[in-house]
Amino acid sequence: MHIPDGFISPKVYIPAYVLSSGLWIYSIKKVKKILNEETLPFLSATSAFSFILMMVVVPLPGGTTAHGLGICPLAILFGPFISFLSISLVLLIQSLFFGNGGITTLPINSLAIGFFGSIIVFYFYKIFGKFKRLGAFLGSFFGVIFSSFLISIILGLQPIIAKDPQGKPLFFPFGFSVTIPALVIPHIFVGIAEGILTLIALEIVKKFDKGKIFERKD
């Protein structure tokens, strides 16, 4: 799902940076409030879990890749904003040290995966109340699907907004008719796998957490 550098026009990634910067500043303030010797181990462990899932990559015919996100434990334990910040850090590390994803595309990947993905997971988990496992599974599933849909929209937009005087594309060359099915359909299967892995991960995190962070009310 990660978009590398060079495929997204500045017309898209510069506004995305502006939007993300505001959300990052707000998220850093939130992290400051909750960061202590009890929360930090869980934050770093769940961030590393997200990284591991994102590194298991399957290439897709539309030109991008399918992979798990691992956002559910982060979003449930810490809320969507801290989850967004952690996922952004994971994406930053991936792009800088592992060559997976890009720096110009960082805010797009972060918003699609980290922000909107986390919001979906968080609210599904909350809405399902008593049926937390179902909420976590569905949240993870739809989080993946929606993130892939957003990425496909951003990619499909490129040949429309960034072309030379002859009408040739300058960045990503394929429109929505290619990007939406190429990204969303494989991510249905990824979403199911993500849901199953999330349930396993949540059980393990719960075992360690002993209700300290997991059952907090906010």
Interacting residue ranges for other proteins, rule: CB under 8 A: 4-10, 13-14, 28, 31-32, 35-38, 40-45, 47-49, 51-52, 55, 59-65, 85-86, 89-90, 92-93, 95-100, 102-104, 164, 168-174, 197, 200-201, 204-205, 208
Would you say 117 or 159 has its CB closer to other proteins?
159
Would you say 100 or 147 has its CB closer to other proteins?
100
Would you say 64 or 118 has its CB closer to other proteins?
64
Would you say 60 or 130 has its CB closer to other proteins?
60
CB of 129 to other proteins, least distance (A): 25
Would you say 42 or 125 has its CB closer to other proteins?
42
CB of 63 to other proteins, least distance (A): 4
Supply the angle between the helices 176-209 and 39-55 in degrees, to the nearest 10. 140
Q: Count of residues for the chain?
A: 218
CB of 59 to other proteins, least distance (A): 5
Q: Residue 43 in contact with residue 35, Cβ under 8 Å?
A: yes
CB of 122 to other proteins, least distance (A): 20
CB of 150 to other proteins, least distance (A): 18
Would you say 90 or 120 has its CB closer to other proteins?
90
Is residue 144 within a helix (H) or strand (E), and if so which, with residue range? Answer: helix 132-161
Is residue 59 within a helix (H) or strand (E), and if so which, with residue range? Answer: strand 57-59
Q: Which residues contact 119 (CB under 8 A, 6 or more apart)?
A: 75, 80
**Spatial distance between the Cα atoms of 40 and 123, rounded to a whole number of angstroms:** 23
**Spatial distance between the Cα atoms of 148 and 180, rounded to a whole number of angstroms:** 8
CB of 127 to other proteins, least distance (A): 26
Partners of 82 in the β-ladder? none
Report the SS3 class of residue 106.
helix
Q: How many CA atoms lie within 13 A of 64 on its CB side?
A: 33
Other CB atoms closer than 10 Å to residue 14's CB: what's the count? 12
